[in-house]
């Protein structure tokens, strides 16, 4: 069961039904995103907030903004800028409100403990309000699944997720449905079942509703692209819905589908647009394919520069956390970049020839993704590269 990235309320015009060959389809243009504070999403194992982590700053800001919803008194935020002291006053305020029976304050207090890595304190707060606050029940489910307090208990986590999914609570319900789909797909806490995974994701996706689970919409796109399902038209539909709702993963996937004509008519302009936008937003799989696109169109300098940048990526988990993209596809994107950079070095295309360095990067590509390396090696053997 993957922890979902921060939930967002997205405002976009509904997409066009047909893609023009002369312009980029409106549905695949980057939407304007309006973020709101929703704490039922990102649940990270990281303990105390690290000032060097940009996501830590964002989470700190979200918590402080949320505290303002229970207190209009901005005096609680006055301090010397030290992050620990900055959180002390809101913690005292939330404790006071929680003791007075304020459920929202209790939840925010539990979330504050969670983000600071005080998991036992967080569990105690969440457990005390779980029967009247679905978001607390959701947080507990993730904690039990990850074993943040005691040993992992996937069955209990799934049970709690089911209870959240039965609530009429908007975004947190969609997040629970998405996670139940993940549990069934992977067989964590339940018997593995593709049919059940598909069922829960379809409910969570809510026919493309931008306020539903965008992660479920994107996951359906990947689900229908898998060899077991192989329904590329449905995959294209769901990636289109997810992309229109802000999914970085799906924007890159659409670029590849347009590039090769998977589930849609081949459209190089739309492919280039989607890949470029997704690459600029941090989609590593799109970056790898964009480097390949440049190489295949003999733009060797661009190919070498982009591939070299992709080669520098190492911490796949950190990239996945920051972008919300699938780690497996991040590895594939890095492997593509490594292979094309090696090819440029081997043949001296776009940069000085260096066969020794080329061998080094070919080896790294093979280690990063043997599957990608094998496919690209066949392209070289049969003269397709």
pLDDT of residue 170: 83
pLDDT of residue 67: 57
Has residue 166 been placed in a domain?
no
What count of other Cβ atoms lies within 10 Å of the Cβ of residue 109?
27
pLDDT of residue 87: 55
CA distances from 346 to 287, 307, 349, 364, 377 (A): 21, 14, 8, 15, 13
Distance separating alpha carbons of residues 178 and 326, to the nearest angstrom: 15
Closest residue by Cα to residue 19 from 222, 232, 257: 257
Q: Work out how many domains the chain is built from and give that number.
A: 1
Contact (CB, 8 A) for 224 and 232: yes
- pLDDT averaged per 10 residues in sequence order, the chain, 385 residues: 34 28 47 31 30 44 55 50 58 84 90 91 94 94 89 92 92 95 95 97 94 95 94 98 97 98 97 98 98 98 99 96 95 99 98 98 98 98 94
Supply the CATH number for residue 326's domain.
1.25.40
The DSSP string of 288-348 is HHHHHHHHHTT-HHHHHHHHHHHHT---HHHHHHHH---HHHHHHHHHHHHHHHHHHHHHT
Has residue 248 been placed in a domain?
no
In sequence order, what are the beta bridge partners of 9? 34
What count of other Cβ atoms lies within 10 Å of the Cβ of residue 34?
10
Q: Which domain holds residue 307?
A: 282-385
pLDDT of residue 77: 47
Q: 158-165: which pairs have CB atoms within 8 A and are 24 or more residues apart? A: 158/1, 158/183, 158/188, 158/189, 158/190, 160/130, 161/1, 163/134, 163/137, 164/134, 164/137, 164/138, 165/200
In sequence order, what are the beta bridge partners of 10? 33
Tell me phi and psi for residue 67, to 5 degrees. Answer: -60, -35
pLDDT of residue 3: 41
pLDDT of residue 97: 84
Has residue 335 been placed in a domain?
yes
Distance separating alpha carbons of residues 54 and 309, to the nearest angstrom: 21
No. of helices (H) and no. of strands (E), the chain: 18, 2
**Strands in the chain per DSSP E:** 9-10, 33-34
* Per-residue tokens: 110: 């539990």
Has residue 336 been placed in a domain?
yes
Q: What is the pTM of this model?
A: 0.77
The DSSP string of 33-73 is EE----TTS---S--S--TT-HHHHHHHHHHHHHHTTT---
pLDDT of residue 27: 53
Distance separating alpha carbons of residues 204 and 31, to the nearest angstrom: 21
Distance separating alpha carbons of residues 12 and 246, to the nearest angstrom: 9
CA distances from 245 to 12, 109, 254, 257, 329 (A): 7, 31, 13, 18, 20
Distance separating alpha carbons of residues 108 and 103, to the nearest angstrom: 9
């Amino acid at each position: 069961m993957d922890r979902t990235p921060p939930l967002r309320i997205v405002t976009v015009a509904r997409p066009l039904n047909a893609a023009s060959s002369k312009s980029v389809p409106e549905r695949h243009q980057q939407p304007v995103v309006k973020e709101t504070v929703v704490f039922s999403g990102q649940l990270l194992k990281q303990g105390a907030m690290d000032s060097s982590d940009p996501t830590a700053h964002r989470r700190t800001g979200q918590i402080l903004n949320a505290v303002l919803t229970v207190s209009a008194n901005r005096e609680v935020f006055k301090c010397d800028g030290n992050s620990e002291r900055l959180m002390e006053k809101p913690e005292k305020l939330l404790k006071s409100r929680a003791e007075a029976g304020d459920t929202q304050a209790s939840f925010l207090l539990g979330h504050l403990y969670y983000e600071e890595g005080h998991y036992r304190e967080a569990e105690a707060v969440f457990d005390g309000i779980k029967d009247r606050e679905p978001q607390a029940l959701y947080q507990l489910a993730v904690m039990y699944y990850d074993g943040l307090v005691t040993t992992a208990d996937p069955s209990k986590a799934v049970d709690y997720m089911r209870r959240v999914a039965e609530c009429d609570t908007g975004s947190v319900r969609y997040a629970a449905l998405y996670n139940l789909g993940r549990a069934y797909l992977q067989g964590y806490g339940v018997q593995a079942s593709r049919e059940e995974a598909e069922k829960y994701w379809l409910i969570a996706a809510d026919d493309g509703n931008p306020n539903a689970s965008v992660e479920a919409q994107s996951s359906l796109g990947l689900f229908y692209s898998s060899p077991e399902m192989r329904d590329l038209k449905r995959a294209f539909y769901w990636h289109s819905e997810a992309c229109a709702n802000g999914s970085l993963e799906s924007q890159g996937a659409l670029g590849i589908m347009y590039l090769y004509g998977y589930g849609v008519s081949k459209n190089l302009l739309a492919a280039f647009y989607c890949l470029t936008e997704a690459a600029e937003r941090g989609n590593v799989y799109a970056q790898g394919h964009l480097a390949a696109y440049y190489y295949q169109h003999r733009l060797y300098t661009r190919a070498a520069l982009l591939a070299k940048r992709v080669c520098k990526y190492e911490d796949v988990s950190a990239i996945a956390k920051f972008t919300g993209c699938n780690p497996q596809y991040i590895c594939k994107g890095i492997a593509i970049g490594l292979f094309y950079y090696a090819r440029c070095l081997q043949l001296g295309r776009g940069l000085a020839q260096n066969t020794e360095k080329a061998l080094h990067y070919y080896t790294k590509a093979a280690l990063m993704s043997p599957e990608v390396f094998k496919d690209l090696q066949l392209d070289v053997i049969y003269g397709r590269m």
